[in-house]
Chains A and B, each alone.
Chain A
Amino acid sequence: DAGVIQSPRHEVTEMGQEVTLRCKPISGHNSLFWYRQTMMRGLELLIYFNNNVPIDDSGMPEDRFSAKMPNASFSTLKIQPSEPRDSAVYFCASSGGQMNTEAFFGQGTRLTVV
């Protein structure tokens, strides 16, 4: 398996624009996590899906953030409108399968909002 695939790897956008980050989890995994990493706040869990259903979105910072998982092989994290303080690295991770222990991380999307 190619692992967790995120796109794009880098995104630069202007304040006020809509940004969509994409994630393809590992096939067979039933849990998906979106994290945000910044120098100031470290690694924060934004939202957690299990079997495509959002279980906990308490980490989503504002209504400007939304996430969907229309099927087991695809998830999006959308920011609309984007603000400079949203600049961060966003990671997607998946977990599941027979062992269902650790989370596997993608390479991340580095978002810069100018």
Chain B
Amino acid sequence: AQSVTQLGSHVSVSEGALVLLRCNYSSSVPPYLFWYVQYPNQGLQLLLKYTTGATLVKGINGFEAEFKKSETSFHLTKPSAHMSDAAEYFCAVRDLYNFNKFYFGSGTKLNVKP
């Protein structure tokens, strides 16, 4: 089975600083890769996804992520944090060879300090 590892359950940055949230997956075959965001008392919303093609993908709210096959990583970045970015972020993979199951990381809570 796939595994998804998110380094750091809590990340704190200052407003305007770079946001970097780390995600590594276990598959040797590139799966589909996703980042979701969850605001308090809400469901998960898709931020961005990688399926095929360009390895640098852009999402909503200025976020982007780069798929690096050699590192089995899909780190999420944003050049300048905004207070509204405070939320929990989940990395997920879809295993195309195992009934298209989704596997989620444990989540990273992002705190943005004024």
Contacts and interface: CB of A to CB of B under 8 A. Distances in A.
Interface stretch (A13-21, A48-56, A79-87): A48-56
B43 A107 contact: yes
Nearest to B32: A101
A31 interface: yes
A105 B102 contact: no
B109 to A, nearest CB: 11
A45 B107 contact: no
Residues of B in contact with A, size category: 20 to 34
B107 A91 contact: no
Contact of B43 (A33, A56, A95, A108): A108
Contacts of B43: 4, 91, 105-108
A35 B101 CA distance: 12
Contact of B51 (A43, A50, A101): A101
Nearest to A105: B43
Residues of A in contact with B, size category: 20 to 34
A42 B104 contact: yes
Given A101-B32, A106-B43, A42 B106 contact: yes
Interface of B: 32, 34, 36, 41-46, 49, 51, 90, 92, 94, 99-104, 106-107
9 smallest A-B Cβ distances: which pairs?
A: A105-B43, A105-B44, A42-B106, A43-B104, A107-B43, A102-B46, A55-B99, A108-B43, A102-B49
